[in-house]
Amino acid sequence: MDKRLLVLACGMFAIGTDSFVVSGLLRQVSVSLGVSIALAGQMVTVFALSYALLSPVVAAAAAHWPRKRLLLAGLAVLVVGDILTAVAPTIKLVLASRLLSGLAAAMFSPTASATAASLAVPEQRGRALSIVITGLSCGTAFGAPLGVFVGGLLDWRATMWFAAGLGTLAWTGVALLLSDTPSAPVVDLARRLAPLRDTRVVLTLLTILLVFTGLFIVHTYIDPSFDRVTGGNQGILAALLLLRGVAATAGSLVAGRLTDRFGSRGIINAAAAILFLDFALLPWTSTSLTTAAPALVVWGLFGWGLLVPQQLRLIGITPSAAPLLLGLNQTAIYLAVSASGVLGGAAVTWFDHHTLGIISAVFIGAGLVTSELAHRHIIRSHGSMTSSAAIPSGNIP
């Protein structure tokens, strides 16, 4: 395996850890800074919103930068943002620092994917991209639970120092082991957003926006949502997050093969339907470890397993615009994360926080509807090729 790809994967591991570790620390942040859990949850919102809105802007504005310089700058900003979070005395400064960390993710993540593709020969680019993306999923699966465990042993500020340490290690690896690569072709912001004029693209992106808003409403406030199981014990919460992370990794790996066999429509709709039931039952399954653990496994398997068929559906709409479409898909995911912080914060303020799963299920159900609408528009665009005889069902996105 090309060591340069491993370096990029390590950077994505740091980004993934930084993105998702905060959700397991909200109770500690709330007590430490004397604010509500809902306000502490906006740490997730500002990070995700910063990433979602700035990612296409950074890609257009810094397209002429050498990739190595942009990667190093992104990791440096990430480390600075984490250190500022670790020492910030007020929630306002904490939120400002998370905004800075979101900018770092917007600088690093898309650049890492583009660099991985440029380092591989055309027939191996898919494998190269999968290695880098695995770094992100491993950050979610293992880095975030480890950070929560560190917070349980010490405090949430120690976790942010831990995240800064990961960023520093990744920066060192990129600086020492990655040779400079040419800057990417310049693509202005208008061209990057051009696919949004296609109804099929909009409905497909709306599907991931709605489903992931549902998933992350509970994820952002997972500490209070599962407090009847954890009893406030960060070690138990870290173990549950690890279990879900392992399931998410397995779901991502299996989803590709299933999508090749059954097509995107079947996998997306089946995953969304199962997630709808899983989250609708969370107010009851989150009461004990014997039911909470399977619920989290289902969440991990089908939540992250949804991403592969979603991406393949987008690529199938306009293959020539695949990089732009996948970038918009990432933006939709992080918009969902930012929306979930606001919506979940309102829900825990107005309702019993153990009922968040029902609110999530409403969004997931809406995503199932838009998924089917997207499929119908895609089929309609095929014109005379809509019959199953002309197009094998497994190839219909």
Model confidence at 251, pLDDT cuts 50, 70, 90, reads confident
- Angle value at C-alpha 197, between 104 and 338, nearest 5 degrees: 35
The more confidently predicted of residues 118 and 207 is 207
What was the pLDDT predicted at 279?
Answer: 94
Three-class secondary structure of residue 184 per DSSP: coil
> 43 Cβ partners below 8 Å, 6+ apart?
22, 26, 29, 94, 95, 98, 341
Mean pLDDT of the 289-293 span: 91
Between the CA atoms of 340, 345, 350 and 354, what dihedral angle is there, to the nearest 10 degrees?
Answer: 70
As a whole number, the mean pLDDT across the chain is: 81
- Contact of 354 with 284, CB cutoff 8 Å: no
Q: 237, 243, 298, 308: which is closest to 273 by C-alpha?
A: 298
**What CA–CA distances, in Å, run from 88 to 37, 40, 80, 92, 342?**
17, 13, 12, 9, 22
Q: Which of 44-53, 81-90, 178-187 has maximum average pLDDT?
A: 81-90
Mean pLDDT of the 192-213 span: 85
Stretch among 252-266, 340-354, 378-392 having the lowest mean pLDDT:
378-392
Distance CA 274, CA 323 (A): 30
The more confidently predicted of residues 137 and 270 is 270
The per-residue pLDDT for range 134-152, each reduced to its tens digit, is 777 778 777 877 888 888 8
Element (H, E) at 161: helix 156-177
Stretch among 39-48, 314-323, 373-382 having the lowest mean pLDDT:
314-323
What residue has token string 């606001």? 342
What was the pLDDT predicted at 55?
Answer: 78
Q: What is the pTM of this model?
A: 0.74
What was the pLDDT predicted at 387?
Answer: 42
Which DSSP symbol is given to 41? Answer: T
Widest pairwise Cα distance in the chain = 65
Percent of the chain with pLDDT over 70: 86
Percent of the chain with pLDDT over 90: 25
Sorted by where each starts, the structural domains of the chain and their CATH numbers stand as 1-187 (1.20.1250.20), 189-397 (1.20.1250.20)
Query: How many Cβ atoms are within 10 Å of 395's Cβ, its own excluded?
Result: 10
Reply yes or no on whether the pLDDT at 300 is more than 80: yes
Query: How many Cβ atoms are within 10 Å of 302's Cβ, its own excluded?
Result: 24
Reply yes or no on whether the pLDDT at 285 is more than 70: yes
